[in-house]
Structure 1
Amino acid sequence: MMNLLATLILGATLAVSGCTYYGYPPGTAIPASYDRSFFAAADAMRDQDVVVSTQDQAGGTVAGQREGTSVTATVRQQPDGSVRVQFSASDSRDPGLLDRISRSYDRRMGR
């Protein structure tokens, strides 16, 4: 009886070890989750020295200031399941700020 059980366990182990998991095909983007996108947006703003004063995950808003400029990120779940993230600023004292925040966000999302 013991030999039969050992043979069955060995057979099952060999059968499972022959399975291969391929994951996502190369070049396919992994869909972003709302939570991951929200926190990446907030951290991207901090990366660019924005002092975050409001971080409302349920409302999808992150707001802060950098050298007198108000910066806001809005995160919205789309009907198709994708997530849309948009950064905006109150003025253009630093015209490259939003671009830098966007690049920080892309890095944090692995893009």
Structure 2
Amino acid sequence: MKNLLATLTFGAILAVSGCTYYGYPAGTVPASYDRSFSAAADAMRDQGVAINVQDQASGTVAGQRNGSTVTASVRQQADGSVRVQFNTSDSRDPGLLDRISQSYDRRMGR
């Protein structure tokens, strides 16, 4: 009888110890405006854009590369997220905006 009780107790302890508790997943926090603004300006520099306007209050970064004007617009959304948009005045280098966007993503850890 003692042997059976010990075996059942050991089995119950073993079964309970196999249960795993999964905590709450870490929530995502929107990127900060300052970090996004700096990453946008640095991404433009990474791709050879000479910055001539960098106004954090208005969220504007502008510069020149090979005669083309390149701009970044950084805006805080109502939900707390940040929207970043890159534009160029012409398409002399059609891959430029893609390369800037990729540099931005790398700087943001994406």
TM range (shorter): 0.7 to 0.9
Q: Higher Cα Rg: structure 1 or 2?
A: 2
Letter of the 1:73 counterpart:
A
Once the two structures are superposed, the pairs formed by residues 1-111 of structure 1 within 5 Å of their partners are 25=26, 29-111=28-110
CA distance, structure 1, for counterparts of residue 31 and residue 55 of structure 2: 19
Could you state the TM-score of these two structures normalised by the residue count of structure 2? 0.75
When the two chains are superposed, the root-mean-square deviation of aligned CA atoms in Å is: 1.7
Q: Give ranges in structure 1 of 5+ residues lacking alignment.
A: 1-21
Deviations 1:16-66 (A, max 9, x none): xxxxxx8x63xx644200000000000000000000000000000000000
Unaligned runs of 5+ in 2: 1-22
* Larger deviation, residues 59-68 vs 29-38: 29-38
CA distance in 1, matches of 2:46, 2:52: 15
TM-score, normalised with respect to structure 1: 0.75
Q: Equivalent residue of 2:35, what SS?
A: helix
1:45 partner SS: helix
Q: Aligned AA for 1:48? A: Q
Q: Percent identity?
A: 76
